[in-house]
Chains A and B, each alone.
Chain A
Amino acid sequence: DTAVSQTPKYLVTQMGNDKSIKCEQNLGHDTMYWYKQDSKKFLKIMFSYNNKELIINETVPNRFSPKSPDKAHLNLHINSLELGDSAVYFCASSQGWENTEAFFGQGTRLTVV
């Protein structure tokens, strides 16, 4: 019954590999997000999709590519992983984007070695 679920929860991989993180929400929301939280707990938005359309694309290396096959899913693919990509990645969703509550997943802790 998890509202926003992301898999995997933990991901350890070597530099240079390509990996994907999946996110699904069962809340019927039309907006989904990816955030990155660094070791200092700073949470920064990476991407936002509304009705499968990209509306926010922050200054993120183009090695990161979000894919939204439908409104309920927003996956994140990362190519050529680097040490600096190590962080916790959070998926979130909301109904609209103005003054609305964002529901976050449990996060995916990515460690690049």
Chain B
Amino acid sequence: TQLLEQSPQFLSIQEGENLTVYCNSSSVFSSLQWYRQEPGEGPVLLVTVVTGGEVKKLKRLTFQFGDARKDSSLHITAAQPGDTGLYLCAGLSNTNAGKSTFGDGTTLTVKP
């Protein structure tokens, strides 16, 4: 079973602070995705990273895929209350096409 562990599980910060969320596994993934989920809604894709070592930026969000394609990080610069939500990483299987394994989530609260 491929497992993805996210840390921290909960994060509460003030507006303007920076933060990093980690997504770790002992398994290799063909690609990794980050989603954000707001209360009462389904997850919405933020980014897909495919190549080991790849870095993608989405405004104040920076995503990195580990060189060995086993881990990823999400860095948010100058967090805003609108960033509040549940962040989920999801690894797409290297061997079982079509199966996404989701991490256990990081709940971020950004206080104004």
- A residues in contact (CB < 8 Å) with B: 4, 31, 35, 40-45, 48, 50, 55-56, 90, 92, 97-99, 101-107
Contacts and interface: CB of A to CB of B under 8 A. Distances in A.
Contacts of B11: none
Closest 10 CB pairs of A and B: A104-B42, A97-B98, A43-B102, A101-B45, A41-B105, A99-B31, A48-B98, A104-B43, A90-B42, A55-B98
A33 B10 CA distance: 28
A104 B102 contact: no
Given A45-B102, A106-B42, 15 more contacts: A42-B105, A43-B43, A44-B102, A48-B98, A56-B96, A56-B99, A90-B42, A97-B92, A98-B98, A99-B48, A99-B50, A102-B45, A102-B100, A103-B45, A107-B41
Interface residues of B, number: 25
A45 B97 contact: no
Nearest to B104: A42
Contacts of A105: 42
A97 B97 contact: yes
A84 to B, nearest CB: 19
A44 B100 CA distance: 8
Contacts of A102: 43, 45, 100
A98 B50 CA distance: 10
B88 to A, nearest CB: 6
A99 B104 contact: no
